[in-house]
């Protein structure tokens, strides 16, 4: 099965995780896809295939003859999609030979704009898969699941020699608990890769330190005509809390390694309100300082009003895996070599997010993150491109993609130049067509 066929199959399953639920999986619907993946691994002939009571799927592709002594490697992706936007009844748009322009999302009438997503220009000529604007796509991370499954099938079909290859699919990555019950006693890889990034050729090993923070606010509600010096409006206290945080330290105003406070949800009334944040920073000291700032706000509010008006709950999500990967640099070197071997240029940049791999790295399994070629995750502008089948000799490092003639072409221009200059012209023309 082609990788895009798998992706379209997987996104049809509604697997949104539930950030309000502390159970794993946070939503029973994730089991529907888990059962499908379990059966596919069995059909491919993998061993030690299991679907656990907590919706983790594992499988082993045993080493080929003569390779049993090679280090075991793992590949991991998550099945759930983000609760930030609807993941139910996904209706993908498939656009062959994408022209590089803005794309109408026919379900909502909105446009996927090149001005908002400049990487779209690099996808010209490929098959583009988008949402219809009414849901997210689910390429985060069903693209990773599809890519792992397709790679396993290719390894088996082409009889590519290999050591032990472990496969793992997790629930609830999007709510920060995907690695909580990951069984490293069963999943016996020496190192692994999450396939959960975005940029083509990406190998990422530096991510945010992350936590979630919730302010529970208890107000005092009395008749507004008799409220002087008595009423404490919980909703207004919530607004006051938000005003005490730096307005330029939000996702909309930060980039690179810059951290932020992100207000994700605000609900309530006079009697009770709740303000939810996620807190992110690459630098550990800066991250802890941010958490201390939140604790300071809690103290200030309780001193201004009365004790127990505000209660802050902080829950750690994950840490920056760089601390672990720096001690295991070989896992990055292997990935970069593999990326170069297929004609791509490795891309490594600070990840403004996190993966199961960050948690797993601190649990003893070094686990950088590989890109899936998807963009705009967690919302209606999510999109991904399909790479066409490579031609040429097996193992060729050249990046030559299948193309299809669309009828008769006009005669080409003749260049009478030296061989070296001719080579330069050819390369430039190939780049123009996004072939290389």
Q: What is the 3-state secondary structure (H, E, C) of the chain?
A: CCHHHHHHHHCCCCCECCCCCCCCCCCCCHHHHHHHHHHHHHHCCCEEEEECCCCCEEEEECCCCCCCCCCCEEEEEECCECCCCCCCCCCCEEECCCCCCCEECCCCCCEECCCCCHHHHHHCCCEEEECCCCCCCCHHHHHHHHHHHHHHHHHHHCCCCCCCEEEEEECCHHHCCCCCCCCCCCCCCCEEEEEEECCCCEEECCECEEEEEEEEEECECCCHHHCCCCCECHHHHHHHHHHCCCCCCCHHHCCCCCCEEEEEEEEECCCEEEEEEEEEECCHHHHHHHHHHHHHHHHHHHHHCCCCCEEEEEEEEECCCHHHHCCCCHHHHHHHHHHHHCCCCCECCCECCCCHHHHHHHCCCCCCEEECCEECCCCCCCEEEECCCECCCCCCCCCCECCCCCCCCCCCCCCCCCHHHHHHHHHHHHHHCCCC
Q: Note whether 196 and 218 are same-domain residues.
A: no
Q: Note whether 213 and 202 are same-domain residues.
A: no
Q: Note whether 92 and 235 are same-domain residues.
A: no
Q: For residues 114 and 102, is the Cβ–Cβ distance under 8 A? A: yes
Q: For residues 262 and 280, is the Cβ–Cβ distance under 8 A? A: yes
Residue 353: its pLDDT value, please?
84
Bridge pairing between strands 127-130 and 57-61:
unpaired
Q: Note whether 326 and 306 are same-domain residues.
A: no
Residue 177 lies in a domain: yes
For range 165-178, the mean pLDDT: 95
- pLDDT cut 70: percent of the chain above it: 89
Tens of pLDDT, residues 259-274: 999 999 999 999 999 9
Q: Which residues contact 1 (CB under 8 A, 6 or more apart)?
A: 149, 150, 153
For range 161-184, the mean pLDDT: 96
Determine which of 189-193, 280-284, 391-395 has the lowest per-residue pLDDT on average.
Answer: 391-395
Q: For residues 236 and 249, is the Cβ–Cβ distance under 8 A? A: no
With cut-offs at 50, 70 and 90, classify the pLDDT of residue 421.
Answer: low
Count Cβ atoms below 10 Å from residue 253 Cβ, excluding itself.
11
Q: Note whether 86 and 227 are same-domain residues.
A: no
With cut-offs at 50, 70 and 90, classify the pLDDT of residue 416.
Answer: low
Whether pLDDT at 433 is above 80:
no
Residue 409: its pLDDT value, please?
33
Residue 324: its pLDDT value, please?
96
Task: Answer with the one of 267, 300, 317 that is the final residue of a domain.
Answer: 317
For range 301-323, the mean pLDDT: 95
Q: Note whether 88 and 184 are same-domain residues.
A: yes
Residue 128 lies in a domain: yes
Q: Note whether 337 and 313 are same-domain residues.
A: no
**Residue written as tokens 């794309």?**
103
Residue 355 lies in a domain: yes
Domain count, the chain: 2
Q: Which residues contact 202 (CB under 8 A, 6 or more apart)?
A: 346, 347, 348, 349, 369, 370, 371
Residue 26: its pLDDT value, please?
98
Whether pLDDT at 429 is above 90:
no
Task: Answer with the one of 353, 371, 386 that is the final residue of a domain.
Answer: 386
For range 299-304, the mean pLDDT: 98
Residue 140 lies in a domain: yes
For range 361-388, the mean pLDDT: 93
Residue 397 lies in a domain: no
Q: Note whether 246 and 181 are same-domain residues.
A: no
Residue 400: its pLDDT value, please?
33
Q: Note whether 149 and 38 are same-domain residues.
A: yes
Residue 403: its pLDDT value, please?
30
Residue 411: its pLDDT value, please?
40
For range 412-431, the mean pLDDT: 57
Peptide bond before 249: cis, by omega within 30 degrees of 0?
no
**Residue written as tokens 């032990």?**
164
With cut-offs at 50, 70 and 90, classify the pLDDT of residue 425.
Answer: low
Q: What's the mean per-residue pLDDT of the chain?
A: 90
For range 396-425, the mean pLDDT: 44
Residue 404: its pLDDT value, please?
30
Residue 426: its pLDDT value, please?
62
Backbone angles phi, psi at 330, to 5 degrees: -60, -30
Domain boundaries, position 74: 3-206+320-386
Say which CATH number the domain at 16 has: 3.40.630.10
Say which CATH number the domain at 291 has: 3.30.70.360
Whether pLDDT at 436 is above 80:
no
Q: Note whether 220 and 109 are same-domain residues.
A: no
CA atoms within 13 A on the CB side of 323: 16
Instruction: In whole angstroms, give the CA distance from residue 394 to residue 392.
Output: 6
Q: Note whether 200 and 94 are same-domain residues.
A: yes
Both structure tokens of 44: 């491919």
Both structure tokens of 426: 């050819």
Determine which of 58-62, 144-148, 170-174, 383-387 has the lowest per-residue pLDDT on average.
Answer: 383-387
Whether pLDDT at 352 is above 70:
yes
Residue 404 lies in a domain: no
Whether pLDDT at 159 is above 80:
yes
Task: Answer with the one of 342, 367, 386 that is the final residue of a domain.
Answer: 386
Residue 317: its pLDDT value, please?
86
Residue 276 lies in a domain: yes
Q: Note whether 83 and 148 are same-domain residues.
A: yes
Residue 387: its pLDDT value, please?
76
Q: Which residues are catalytic?
A: 80, 173
Residue 417 lies in a domain: no
For range 344-361, the mean pLDDT: 91
């Amino acid at each position: 099965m082609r990788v895009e066929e798998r992706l379209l199959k997987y996104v049809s399953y509604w697997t949104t995780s539930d950030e309000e639920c502390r159970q794993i999986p946070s939503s029973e619907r994730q089991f529907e896809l888990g059962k499908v993946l379990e059966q596919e691994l069995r059909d491919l002939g993998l061993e030690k295939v299991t679907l656990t009571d907590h919706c983790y799927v594992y499988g082993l592709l045993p080493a080929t003859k003569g390779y049993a002594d090679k280090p075991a490697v793992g590949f991991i992706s998550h099945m759930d999609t983000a609760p930030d936007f609807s993941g139910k009844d996904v209706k993908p748009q498939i656009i062959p030979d994408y022209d590089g322009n803005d794309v109408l999302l026919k379900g909502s009438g909105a446009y996927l704009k090149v001005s908002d997503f400049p990487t779209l220009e690099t996808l010209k000529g490929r098959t583009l898969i988008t949402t219809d604007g009414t849901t997210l796509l689910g390429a985060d991370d069903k693209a990773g699941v599809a890519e792992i499954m397709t790679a396993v099938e290719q390894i088996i079909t082409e009889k590519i020699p290999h050591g032990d290859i472990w496969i793992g699919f997790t629930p609830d990555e999007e709510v920060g608990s995907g690695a909580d019950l990951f069984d490293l006693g069963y999943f016996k890889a020496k190192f692994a890769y999450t396939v959960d990034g975005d940029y083509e050729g990406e190998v990422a090993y530096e991510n945010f330190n992350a936590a979630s923070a919730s302010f529970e606010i208890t107000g005092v509600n009395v008749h507004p005509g008799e409220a002087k010096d008595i009423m404490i409006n919980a909703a207004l206290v919530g607004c006051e809390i938000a005003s005490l945080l730096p307005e330029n330290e939000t996702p909309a105003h930060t980039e690179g390694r810059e951290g932020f406070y992100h207000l994700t949800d605000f609900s309530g009334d006079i009697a009770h309100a709740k303000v939810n944040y996620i807190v992110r920073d690459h630098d550990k000291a800066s991250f802890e300082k941010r958490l201390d700032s939140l604790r300071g706000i809690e103290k200030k509010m309780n001193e201004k009003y009365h004790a127990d008006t505000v209660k802050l709950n902080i829950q750690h999500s994950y840490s920056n895996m760089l601390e672990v990967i720096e001690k295991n640099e070989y896992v990055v070197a292997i990935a970069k070599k593999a990326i170069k071997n297929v004609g791509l240029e490795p891309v490594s940049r600070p990840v403004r997010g996190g993966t199961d791999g960050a948690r797993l790295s601190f649990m003893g399994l070094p686990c950088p993150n590989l890109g899936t070629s998807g963009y705009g995750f967690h919302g209606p502008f999510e999109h991904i491109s399909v790479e066409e089948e490579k031609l040429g000799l097996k193992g060729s490092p050249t990046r030559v993609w299948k193309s299809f003639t669309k009828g008769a072409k006009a005669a080409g221009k003749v260049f009478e130049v030296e061989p070296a200059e001719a080579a330069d012209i050819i390369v430039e023309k190939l780049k123009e067509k996004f072939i290389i």
